[in-house]
Amino acid sequence: MLTPNSPIYLHSDLHSALKRLSDSDKTIHRSFIIGGASVYAEVLTLSSASHLIPPAISDRILLTRIMSPAFEQCDVFMPDFRADKTSKDGVGWQRAPHADLQAWAEFEVPEYVQEENGVQYEFQMWVRQS
């Protein structure tokens, strides 16, 4: 759980963030990669067996999926990590039950499709299967 004294580190590139994680001698409760699409694409291509990326950093995707409207004017999207059921290291993704998302988040997460200002969305968690 994040406490007022918990350190927060921000990095401008993936390599420096992964280096901090691999060089850290402290226990890190959770690490998040918050993109842009190119950062997500880069992380998804890394092998979970790689020495560059700790398995915990690439073991789940927390996703707010927009159900409607289609936002056709948008030209940048999260890479379709589900298109190929297995990555180059033979690992695929499976959607976790909502109860697992809530347990992992450690707080109440709205279930099912939500609507706000005409936008329908759903909170999802995907877990890398080995």
pTM above 0.95, yes or no: no
86-121 per-position pLDDT tens digit: 455 556 889 999 999 999 999 999 999 999 999 999
Q: Provide the pLDDT confidence category of residue 65 given band limits of 50, 70 and 90.
A: very high
Q: Mean pLDDT of all residues in the chain? A: 80
Residue 82 lies in a domain: yes
Is residue 43 within 8 Å of residue 23, measured between CB atoms? no
Pair of tokens at residue 103:
């347990």
| Residue among 39, 74, 83, 84 at smallest CA distance from 57 | 39
For 116, the domain range is 14-129
Residue 45 lies in a domain: yes
101: DSSP letter: H
φ, ψ at 21 (rounded to 5°): -65, -45
Residue 3 lies in a domain: no
97: DSSP letter: P
8-19 per-position pLDDT tens digit: 788 888 888 888
What's the number of domains the chain is made of?
Answer: 1
List C-alpha distances in Å: 71 to 7, 93, 118: 37, 25, 12
**What's the CATH code of the domain at 118?**
3.40.430.10
| Residue among 10, 66, 65 at smallest CA distance from 33 | 10
Residue 97 lies in a domain: yes
Predicted local confidence at residue 89, as pLDDT: 54
Letter for the amino acid at 8? I
Q: Tell me how many degrees the CA angle 121-60-53 measures, rounded to the nearest 5.
A: 140
Residue 4 lies in a domain: no
Predicted local confidence at residue 115, as pLDDT: 97
Residue 125 lies in a domain: yes
Whole-number percent of the chain with pLDDT over 70? 78
Residue 8 lies in a domain: no
Residue 110 lies in a domain: yes
In three-state secondary structure terms, 41 is helix
